[in-house]
């Protein structure tokens, strides 16, 4: 995948608009106008509006798995590692939040002609790594046994995304500006998710 500057400019403009207005809510003319290019360039470079989205997904996917494995292999205490993993996850999805929003929406709408294989494969790989780590902690007696492993990441990602989707609501509630919300995410929100998951992992009912 080698993309020139103009292609990247189109991709990032499209990402912003798709996340703001949805895929169907964004027209190719909007994209071309915002990216200061001619409408035909989209078909010329990517083939179609849908293939543009395919390319965007590939463009944003990369080396998350390696980062995850690196954190685990450092062999700190399980609790410390959990903290680091969660901070890493939040940092990653927050950075790529726009693309994740598009994926969430388009993936839950069965019918589109978009290729989610790459996304799903990566999702499953990441899950397996975290699953193995937690199971090891359970065997060592550090983590509780009565945990639904499949839903652990659901809570991590779900908390973040629900916050992000209701950004406007929380901004009003917490008196956050567009510039302070990032620090809130990396401090309070991350801390809340860390506490939640650590509590769950060490909770014996």
163: Cβ contacts below 8 Å, ≥ 6 apart: 170, 185, 189
Q: E strand or H helix at 174, and its extent?
A: helix 167-174
Specify the residue, 30 or 126, whose C-beta has the smaller distance to DNA: 30
Query: 8 vs 12, 42, 60, 83, 143, CA distance in Å?
Result: 6, 12, 11, 34, 44
Q: Report yes or no: 10 and 37 within 8 Å, Cβ to Cβ.
A: yes
Q: How far apart are CA 43 and CA 16, in angstroms?
A: 19
Which C-beta is closer to DNA: that of 92 or that of 112?
112
Choose the one of DNA, a second copy, none that binds residue 58, judging by a C-beta under 5 to 8 angstroms depending on kind: none
55 lies in the binding site for DNA (CB under 7 A): no
Considering the rule CB under 8 A, would residue 21 count as an interface residue with a second copy? yes
Contact set with a second copy (CB under 8 A): 20-25, 101, 104-105, 107-111, 120, 123-124, 146-148, 150-151, 154-155, 157-170, 173-174, 188-189, 191-193, 195-196, 198-200, 202-203, 205
Contact set with DNA (CB under 7 A): 4, 6, 26-30, 37-44, 47-50
């Amino acid at each position: 995948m080698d993309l020139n500057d103009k292609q990247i400019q189109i991709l990032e403009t499209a990402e912003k608009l798709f996340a703001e207005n949805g895929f169907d809510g964004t027209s190719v003319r909007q994209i071309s106008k915002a990216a200061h290019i001619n409408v035909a360039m989209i078909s010329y470079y990517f083939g179609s509006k849908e293939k543009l989205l395919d390319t965007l997904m590939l463009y944003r996917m990369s080396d998350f798995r390696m980062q995850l494995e690196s954190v685990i292999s450092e062999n700190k205490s399980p609790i410390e590692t959990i903290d680091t993993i969660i901070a890493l996850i939040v940092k990653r999805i927050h950075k790529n939040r726009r693309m994740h929003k598009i994926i969430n929406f388009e993936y839950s709408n069965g019918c589109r002609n978009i290729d989610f294989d790459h996304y799903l494969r990566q999702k499953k790989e990441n899950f397996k790594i975290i699953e193995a780590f937690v199971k090891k902690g359970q065997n060592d007696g550090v983590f509780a046994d009565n945990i639904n492993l499949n839903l652990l990441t659901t809570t991590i990602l779900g908390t973040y995304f629900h916050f992000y989707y209701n950004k406007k609501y929380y901004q009003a509630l917490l008196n956050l500006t567009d510039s302070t919300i990032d620090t809130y995410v990396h401090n309070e929100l991350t801390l809340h998710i860390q506490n939640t998951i650590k509590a769950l992992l060490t909770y014996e009912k």
